[in-house]
Amino acid sequence: MSRRRRIYEGKAKILFEGPEPGTVVQYFKDDATAFNNQKHDVITGKGVLNNRISEYLMLKLAEIGIPTHFMKRLNMREQLVREVDIIPLEVVVRNVAAGSLVKRLGLEHGQALPRSIVEFYYKKDELGDPLVSEDHITALGWATAQELDELITYAVRVNDFLTGLFMGVGLKLIDFKLEFGRFWEEEDMRILLADEISPDNCRLWDLKTNEILDKDRFRQDMGGVAEAYQEVAQRLGILPEISNGQMTEGESAEEDKTPTEETQDKA
Ligand code: UDP
């Protein structure tokens, strides 16, 4: 078992140094947080499900020409990704009014938007990730105007593709959040889709019943969080061998190990 250095620990994932320079191992935890960390719980099996769902969606997006950081899934909880410098923006795409949009603008929850809306939030926990305009972003140097154009183009393509993909399995893509990073190859810089795409950062409702199958179940104390994520995975046809986020067959117990690491963190 190799010992790895922990680069960063976030709310739902840990990043370890990868086996090759320029690579990172992304470990999916079972922790769930909401309301800027004020609410925290452990949802058994969530990390396993998100690892699988995100792998599946990133690979599908790569097939349609969206460059992503995803390289390969290593085991139940880990995937190998390219090391990127994360652009400090959350790119949110909305198709239906929900969450903070409803609160901010007084729209009706569940109201279809006349067209999809792309929003940017500045990634800064201390400030509660505030909504920012394109002018804030370019003036304060978080991304250039050209990079912003690229982010919007990718976000819209991801939305078009995922809306169709989820529709095909009876799910409505209400909204979602993307993160992007800069990837350097010698002198060349490319923007890659990074982080994860899972029910932790998408709102997904059943097409017929509007049943909530995403992290809102956790935010609103509705229960059945892991079951909802599992339902999403099953509809996507990717988890026949896992029940309730636990292994039954097809994966070895060794693969569900907790992360190994050296004790000292990067300064
Ligand atoms: N989202 C996210 N991380 C955040 C904030 C939002 O993944 O820090 C996702 C969220 O799951 C939803 C979309 O972005 O799919 C829009 O979220 P919203 O702005 O409505 O915020 P919320 O209601 O979650 O506070």
Q: What is the CATH number of the domain that holds 54?
A: 3.30.200.20
Domain count, the chain: 2
Give yes or no: residues 112 and 154 share one domain: yes
Instruction: Give the separation between CA 144 and CA 137, rounded to whole angstroms.
Output: 8
pLDDT value of position 176:
99
Give yes or no: residues 135 and 229 share one domain: no
Give yes or no: residues 63 and 127 share one domain: no
Q: Is residue 121 a part of any domain in this protein?
A: yes
| Exposed/middle/buried for residue 126 (C-beta within 10 Å: 0-12, 13-18, 19+) | exposed
Q: Is residue 135 a part of any domain in this protein?
A: yes
Give yes or no: residues 13 and 99 share one domain: no
Give yes or no: residues 180 and 238 share one domain: no
Contact between residue 217 and residue 231 where contact means Cβ atoms under 8 Å apart? no
Distance, CA 132 to ligand 1 centroid (Å)? 14
Ligand 1 atom 25 nearest Cα: 100
Distance, CA 262 to ligand 1 centroid (Å)? 33
Contact between residue 93 and residue 155 where contact means Cβ atoms under 8 Å apart? yes
Of 159, 146, 47, 35, the closest CA to residue 95 belongs to 159
Is residue 100 in contact with ligand 1, taking CB distance under 6 Å? yes
Q: Is residue 216 a part of any domain in this protein?
A: no
Is residue 217 in contact with ligand 1, taking CB distance under 6 Å? no
Instruction: Give the separation between CA 79 and CA 70, rounded to whole angstroms.
Output: 8
pLDDT value of position 16:
98
Provide the residue-wise pLDDT of the chain in tens; the chain has 267 residues.
557 899 999 999 999 999 999 999 999 999 999 998 899 999 999 999 999 999 999 999 999 999 999 999 999 999 999 999 999 999 999 999 999 999 999 999 999 999 999 999 999 999 999 999 999 999 999 999 999 999 999 999 999 999 999 999 999 999 999 999 999 988 999 999 999 999 999 999 999 999 999 999 999 999 999 999 999 999 999 975 555 445 443 344 334 445 655 433 333
Is residue 204 in contact with ligand 1, taking CB distance under 6 Å? no
Q: Is residue 53 a part of any domain in this protein?
A: yes
Instruction: Give the separation between CA 201 and CA 216, rounded to whole angstroms.
Output: 10
Instruction: Give the separation between CA 178 and CA 150, rounded to whole angstroms.
Output: 13
Instruction: Give the separation between CA 139 and CA 131, rounded to whole angstroms.
Output: 15
Give yes or no: residues 98 and 111 share one domain: yes
Name the residue range of residue 140's domain: 85-206
Is residue 99 in contact with ligand 1, taking CB distance under 6 Å? yes
> Closest ligand 1 atom, CA of 101?
20
| The length of the chain, given as a count of residues | 267
Is residue 177 in contact with ligand 1, taking CB distance under 6 Å? yes
24 to 195, 197, 254: CA distances (angstroms):
11, 17, 20
| CATH at residue 168 | 3.30.470.20
Instruction: Give the separation between CA 66 and CA 190, rounded to whole angstroms.
Output: 11
pLDDT value of position 259:
61
Query: The pTM is what?
Result: 0.92
> Closest ligand 1 atom, CA of 176?
15
H runs (alpha helix) in the chain: 46-63, 99-105, 134-139, 145-167, 216-219, 225-235
Ligand 1 atom 24 nearest Cα: 99
Instruction: Give the separation between CA 195 and CA 69, rounded to whole angstroms.
Output: 8
pLDDT value of position 239:
79
